[in-house]
Amino acid sequence: MDWSFIVSVYIKFFFLMTPFFVLSMFLVMTKEESSEAKKKLALHVSASVIFTCTILLFFGNYIFDLFGITLDAFRIGAGSLLFLTAVSLIQGPKTDALPKDASAIAVVPLAIPITIGPGTIGALLVMGAGMEGVQQTLQGLFALILAVGSVGVMLYFSGAIERVVGRNGLTVLSKITGLVLAALAAQIVFTGIKNFLEL
């Protein structure tokens, strides 16, 4: 196994899912729930995210072929959306109209679009389409499952993390994630433009 590739993809996937933003939103949306309810919800969210991301990872090429979209054109579009996601992270979440029933929010909006937003979807399709061969794709899937598992563990122990880090700490970490995503978005766009212009 190419562990350097797996670690690289794991880090990208982990930050693509904006883990600290997801954690802060999870805490806000489940503040009235018991510890056991939060843990059950964390498992449900993780399963939903793994299922959705696996489909995106494996069927990216087919989606491109179906709509006649080139990988580089999609890189530019996905990178732009991802940059907007990064900006929204830095500005902070809007929580005015959050659902009150935690049992009904595992898939929407916690899995989609909070964990897997438009920018994340685009980046996943690009990364999946860029993986060469079955072995590299399976290694990418392994890295994806590890990344989702890491986010799931954070949600599962959200109460303990909140006590240690505090809400202000989570806000700071979320903004740092936004900066990392902005850099990743810029790299995706630049790669798309470079390949499109054959520079």
Q: How far, in Å, are 38, 43, 132 from residue 78 at the CA level?
A: 32, 28, 20
pLDDT in tens, 172-193: 888 888 888 888 889 889 988 9
Over range 80-91, report the average pLDDT: 84
**What tokens does 13 get?**
């996937």
Picking from 93, 77, 88, 86, the residue whose alpha carbon sits closest to that of residue 183 is 86
Q: Are 121 and 51 in contact (CB under 8 A)?
A: no
Per the confidence metrics, is the pTM higher than 0.95? no
Distance separating alpha carbons of residues 139 and 55, to the nearest angstrom: 15
The domain ranges of the chain are 3-196
Contact 99, 105 (CB under 8 A): yes
Confidence of residue 103 (pLDDT cuts 50, 70, 90): low
Query: Considering the chain, what percentage of its residues have pLDDT values greater than 90?
Result: 36
Residue 93 has what DSSP assignment? Answer: -
CA distance 78 to 31: 33
Lookup result for tokens 């766009």: 189
Residue with tokens 């959306």: 81
Of 174 and 37, more confident: 37
d(CA 162, CA 23): 9
Per-residue pLDDT, 140: 93
Contact 41, 106 (CB under 8 A): yes
The pLDDT assigned to 94 comes to 58
Q: What is the pLDDT of residue 9?
A: 93
Q: What is the pLDDT of residues 155-164, one digit of tens each?
A: 999 999 989 9
